[in-house]
Structures are given as structure tokens and as C-alpha cells.
Amino acid sequence: MNKFDIAVIGAGPGGYSLALILAKAGNKVVIFEESFFGGNCVNRGCIPTKTLMKSARIANTLARSKDFGIDSENYYDLQTMFKNVANNSAKLQNAIKGGLTTSNVTIIEASATVIDENTIEANGSQYSFDKLVIASGSRPNFFKIEGAEATNVYTSDDLLTKNPKFDELTIIGGGAISLEFAYFYASFGKKVTIIEAAPQLFANLDESISRAAKAVIAEKGITLYEATKVLRYEDGALILENHDGHIYHKTNNILLAVGRRANNEAFASLNLKFNEKNFIEVNEFFQTSIDHIYAIGDVTGKLMLSTVAYKHGDIVAKHIITGSSDEKFNARFIPWTIYATPEIASVGSSEQQLQAQGIDYEVAEIAASSLPRAHAENAFKLGFIKLIFNKKTFEILGATIFLDEASLLINQIALAIKSKLTILDQYLLVI
């Protein structure tokens, strides 16, 4: 039997980065990955969608080119865009595999099955381990819509891999994936509708996120239904229900963007504890209910971002190497972005969270129309910067940036929050 110090299931951001750290520290490491080195980020999430969004943003810039004294033709080729997605993913997959190989991490390109608390089986061979890290990721939720069996119902994975052709798309669900796909297809003339069951988009986040998202939706001519239930599909239409009664929405193409579920099949034999949504429960060091088995990334149901998975992996690697770790994961310091035009980025606490905690706070907000650069770039009609700060100490607690290049600017605010800077410090820093 092959014996290893550490076994890792899944070569996504958390899995492969952790494997590299542990191998560099002298551990004998094996990583199991069936097909997608880089995980969802490289193959089904961050990189593919950002590749497409780059094309969409260029298209939107070209559509406004006459405002800058430039005349251009409005031509696009979706096939080339999706070819770019595949090429970028392949390049990054190869880079990750190369890095693991160079670091003497044993790579098993096969589906792994945990057969007991110290043994994995793959391709007919068995591998024993002292510690196991589960980084198996997640996949899109899927549910059947009554009557839609013969209709085109997609997940985000389907759109990225199959590049289906259509002139209209209805998206069920109103999260980041929904907004980015809506923005992409609307940028190329497709008729897009978003249906959200909650009272408003991003209802569990700061109100500014919903406000920014709706501004993008309105700008792109996307139809939005909030507080609306999907009942069934009948005669070429989704039957919807909201406060106005029943709505018959004609569509032949449906994207389900209703969250993600954990890939739990590989370790069904283990007696692990799961939460009500079937994600693995972990402690502050990401140990499961079995001490020598850890879980990181999407499979824990935490904030599903590659940056989060990297941080999980870093904390677990330190815990395995040293036996302890002073560092704790804090989602408040992790920024995130929705890539539209303008971009929507956020970090820190929301107003709702601060109200629940009884923290006295103030809000400072400046519109894009008050920013000279926004006028210089003719980007002043949409956008704002919102900072939330402690009313007594002026310490920055949270922020939303709705501007071009918000994905870069938000990192400055994240550092300010982690460093406990005040709004006065940040004001001086920005100026």
C-alpha cells in the first residue's frame, strides 16, 4: 500500500495551495483530482466568467466609443469568446499540475473514494494517510421545474462548456452568478430576465449591493422580477406568482442560478458531521468531527470564493505543520466583486450586521458624479463609494464600491479594515 503523510482530495485553490505548502515543509503529499486542476475557479467559475466579462466590458466600451470621438463597428463572435475560456482554463490547469509536480507532490488523476479513516482507493489502488484534507468543492444546485422536461434548462456549468445558442434567457436566482451571466448576454443583444424569490436581490447583504445591482440591470435593459415564485412551465412559458398575481413569462431557455451543493460522494463512508444544507461542519482550524481529517473551501459551505479557499488552506497547513495556529479565519477581511460595468465590490460588515450587533455607526457615501475622474472617463452616471464607520472611533467597518476598477480599489479598503484604520486615515490615503 502507498503510504503518505497527507492526502488531499481536490486540486482547487485551497487543495493545491495547501499541498504545495505541506510538501515544501517536508511532508509526503498525495493529491487526488479527477479532471479539473484549479477547481471551479479555473474551470467553471472565476476564470471562465471573468474571461467572458472582459469581452462584455470591451463591447460596452465600443458601444460608447462615439462619446470619445471614435467610430467602431459593432461585431462580435461568441465562439471565439468561449474558445478563449477553454484556452485560459487549460493554461492554468497545466501551470498548477506543473507546480505540484515540481514540488514533489504525488498526483493521482482519478476519482478518489475514502474507504476508512486512514485509507483512500483510486484506480484500483489503495493509499494510506496520516491526515486527510477534503477540498472536493461544490457544483451548481439543480431542481426540476414541473412541465419543463423538454425545455432547455441549464446550469452555469452548461453555459460555460456547451455555449448554447439562444436569443433570450431567463435566469432563476438573483446572486452574483446570475448578474454576471445576465450582464454578459445582455451586452450582446440577448433578451434577459432575472427571477428572484427573495424580496430583493442580495437581500442578506448590505442594501448598497442590491441598489448597485439594480442599476446595472436597468442600464442593460434586463427584466427583473423580485419576490416572485416559479410555479411550473406550461405552453412555452414559466408560470410565475407574485403580489400582482400570476405572470406568464414566455421563454425557451432557463438558467438555474440557485446556489451550490457540496461534492460529498467521495467520503460517504466517514462518520462526519454535516449542517442542515449538507456541508461539512468544521472547527476554527477546519478540523471535522474526526480530528485528523480537515475540510476546506466550498465543501464547508463558507463564503464560496477562491480567496477564501486559499485562506482556509493556509490555516490548515500551518495547523498541520505546527500543531496549532494563532491565525483565525475572518470573512470580514475578504473582499469580493461582481464583474459588470461598473464593477460592484464589497468588504467588511453590512449595516444589517452592525444593527444586529448593536454597534453605533455612520455612513459616508459619494456618488460617481462627484468624482472628477469619472467625468473624465464619461463614467459618472452610475456608481458610488459607500463607507460604513464606527460613530465613536471612526474606524472603518465596511464598504461598497460601485465604480470601474472597484475590484482593485476594494483591496485598499480591506487592508484599512484589517489594520483598524479610521475614515480619516482612509480619506488621507485616497487623497
Annotated binding site for FAD: 50, 298
Query: β-strands 125-134, 119-122: how paired?
Result: antiparallel
How far is residue 317's CA from residue 294's CA, in Å, rounded to a whole number?
Answer: 10
Point out the annotated binding site for NAD(+).
Answer: 173-180, 196, 259
**Location of C-alpha cell 478518489:** 112
How far is residue 52's CA from residue 191's CA, in Å, rounded to a whole number?
Answer: 17
Cell of 311: 485562506
Q: Count other C-beta atoms under 10 Å from residue 260's C-beta.
A: 22
Q: Angle of helix 78-102 relative to helix 46-63, nearest 10 degrees? A: 140
- Taking the CA atoms of 152, 153, 155 and 156 in sequence, report the sign of the dihedral they define: positive
Point out the annotated binding site.
Answer: 50, 173-180, 196, 259, 298
How far is residue 253's CA from residue 259's CA, in Å, rounded to a whole number?
Answer: 19
The helix/strand/coil state of 23 is helix
Q: Angle of helix 207-219 relative to helix 176-187, nearest 10 degrees? A: 20
**Please, are residues 401 and 412 in contact by the beta-carbon 8 Å criterion?**
no
Q: How many CA atoms does the CB half-sphere of 249 hold within 13 Å? A: 29
**What angle (nearest 5°) sits at the alpha carbon of residue 342, between those of residues 339 and 346?**
65
**Please, are residues 32 and 110 in contact by the beta-carbon 8 Å criterion?**
yes
Main-chain dihedrals φ then ψ at residue 148, nearest 5 degrees = -100, 20
